[in-house]
Amino acid sequence: MSEKNKEIFLGPLSKNNPVIVQVLGICSALAVTAQMEPALVMSLSLTAVLAFASVIISLMRNTIPNRIRIIVQLVVIAALVIIVDQILKAFAYEVSKLLSVYVGLIITNCILMGRLEAFALGNKPWPAFLDGVGNGIGYSIILLIIAFFRELLGSGTLFGHQVIPQICYDWGYENNGLMILPPMALIVAGCIIWVQRAKNPEMQED
């Protein structure tokens, strides 16, 4: 992998993260992160859709008329999302019920259109693929961190398994009901941004 491709792949993981730097894809970060499992499935779905959409758009980039490019992108994304949705319904029905409309709403996820417009339309398939996977993983990392804290503090479980021992509850500990509610996803995301900016002083705005 060349130096430039490496940058394309690794950039979105931290310095150019789609969620906490570009603040895209926040809706789904709020909606599906109350538990780890739906967050993981959502991350995988989005990464897959983004990677394949980037490659397809990149392959077609020289034949797409400029004036209808948005429609073309939407058709590609929608087709991929429907495939992912059907696969989930067939093989992971329970999770698919938990995610409900949010898989369908991947179509409207700003990260997708943003990356296709900004990158895939002007680059060759291999870098476009790396960019898609990189952004998908960047999104996944944030979603999983948020879901980790929300599920651990809100339900005392991780992936549905009890993590906080019963003795804590006997001593008076209680799960934090606020963590289950969507506002805490924003606050956890804010804390992640806080930590990231504190570690990278060059990213701080005045």
Partner 1 sequence: MKALRNYLNKIKPDFEPGGKYEKLWSVFDGFESFLFVPNTTSGKKGVQIHDSVDSKRVMIIVVLALMPALLVGMYNVGYQHFLAIGEDAGFWATFLFGFISVLPKIVVSYAVGLGIEFIVAQVKHHEIQEGFLVSGMLIPMIVPVDTPLWMIGVATAFAVIFAKEIFGGTGMNVFNVALITRAFLFFAYPGKMSGDNVFVRTSDSFGFGGGKVVEGFSGATPLSFASSNLQPTNIIGEPLSGWDYFFGLIPGSIGETSTLAILIGAVVLLLTGVASWRIMFTVFGGGALMAWIVSACGASVLSVGDQICLGGFAFAAVFMATDPVTGCRTNTGKYIYGFLIGALAIIIRQFNSGYPEGAMLAVLLMNVFAPLIDFYVVEANIKRRLRRANA
Q: How far is the CB of 174 from partner 1 (least distance, A)?
A: 5
Could you tell me if 187 and 157 are in contact, meaning their C-beta atoms sit under 8 angstroms apart? no
Q: How far is the CB of 76 from partner 1 (least distance, A)?
A: 41
206 binds partner 1 (CB under 8 A): no
198 binds partner 1 (CB under 8 A): no
Query: Residue 69, SS3?
Result: helix
Instruction: Quickly list H helices, 24-124.
Output: 26-31, 36-60, 69-91, 93-99, 101-104, 110-118
Near partner 1 by CB under 8 A: residue from 176, 193, 196, 197: 176
Near partner 1 by CB under 8 A: residue from 46, 56, 99, 179: 179
C-alpha pair distances (Å), 93 with each of 28, 32, 42, 84, 96: 19, 16, 13, 12, 5
Of 9, 2, 4, 1, nearest in space to 131 by CA: 9
Q: Which is nearer to partner 1, 3 or 205 (CB)?
A: 205
Of 18, 69, 20, 70, nearest in space to 46 by CA: 18
Q: Which is nearer to partner 1, 75 or 168 (CB)?
A: 168
Q: In the range 55-114, which residues lie near partner 1 by CB under 8 A?
A: none
181 binds partner 1 (CB under 8 A): yes
Residue 174: count of CB within 10 angstroms of its CB: 8
Q: Which is nearer to partner 1, 3 or 170 (CB)?
A: 170
Q: How far is the CB of 190 from partner 1 (least distance, A)?
A: 8
22 binds partner 1 (CB under 8 A): no
Amino acid found at 196: Q
201 binds partner 1 (CB under 8 A): no
E strand or H helix at 157: strand 157-158
Cβ within 8 Å of residue 8, ≥6 positions away: 127, 130, 131, 134
Q: How far is the CB of 151 from partner 1 (least distance, A)?
A: 15
How many residues lie near partner 1 (CB under 8 A)?
9
Q: Per-residue x/- marks for partner 1, 133-172, CB under 8 A?
A: ---------------------------------------x
Residues that bind partner 1 (CB under 8 A): 172-174, 176-179, 181, 187
